[in-house]
Structure 1
């Protein structure tokens, strides 16, 4: 079903891949793209479990908006192994205004489709999703 605010639907593959990341840890990250002609969110790229945070940030285009999900593993001060699923709304300043508006108006509905997101980040440049930011928001 299409989003009332933006008319953008969510492809079933998005939910399927997210479930695989969350339940089976099949992927380290997923990058989603809004296909404007088809008016739906699709999976653009998935990261293998052995890929790191640099691979994730490198897969976000410098001048186009994207949604992304990253499964971040970390160790707490109590020495417990934990994981947090981050949702990143990537909207660089250099992207088209129309694109930014479509991504912004579709974000909440898309995020609701992905059940299990623990932390949300809004980013307009790479410093806002630096590894230090992720680490501080994870705990």
Structure 2
């Protein structure tokens, strides 16, 4: 993370569970900057209880940025999605862009996607990025 950003203990713990036990289908992470003295902290916004693509797509806000970590069943594919919709406030887009590389470096993943609209993370697009044919999972 940048010098001013940390990860919450919960985010680290759940991330490890996702990697080892696949107890969760994924995580949606947000930057919590409510405590200015501690700097930005990456915290869990939502835990995806399944690896359902619909659950992933519906968990991302229409008007704000997030990071999402999502697993694809039957593969070793973990996607890191940087969700930055055009409708998000510019301050939010800048903050998430600034922290993106640090998030990429910390959270182990196989595929990284920057998405500005739902079509960027369509299920077919994710399969294409992972070089998997539909039905080949």
| SS of equivalent residue, structure 1 residue 57 | helix
Equivalent residue in structure 1 for 2:9, among 9, 12, 28? 12
Where does structure 1 lack aligned partners over 5 or more consecutive residues? 74-80
Structure 1 residue 18 displacement after superposition: 1.2
| SS of equivalent residue, structure 1 residue 83 | coil
Alignment RMSD: 1.4
Equivalent residue in structure 1 for 2:23, among 19, 26, 47? 26
Q: Which residue number in structure 2 is paired with residue 41 of structure 1?
A: 42
Contact 1:15/1:113, CA 8 A, preserved across alignment: no
Runs of 4+ in structure 1 over 6 Å off: none
**Alignment length, in residue pairs?**
127
Normalized against structure 2, the TM-score is what? 0.87
Question: Which range moves more in the overlay, 9-18 or 120-129?
Answer: 9-18
Where does structure 2 lack aligned partners over 5 or more consecutive residues? 132-137
Residue pairs, 1:42-61, within 5 angstroms? 42-49=43-50, 51-61=51-61
Matched, 1:3 2:20: no
Residue pairs, 1:79-118, within 5 angstroms? 81-114=74-107, 116-118=108-110
Normalized against structure 1, the TM-score is what? 0.85
Q: Which residue number in structure 2 is paired with residue 67 of structure 1?
A: 67
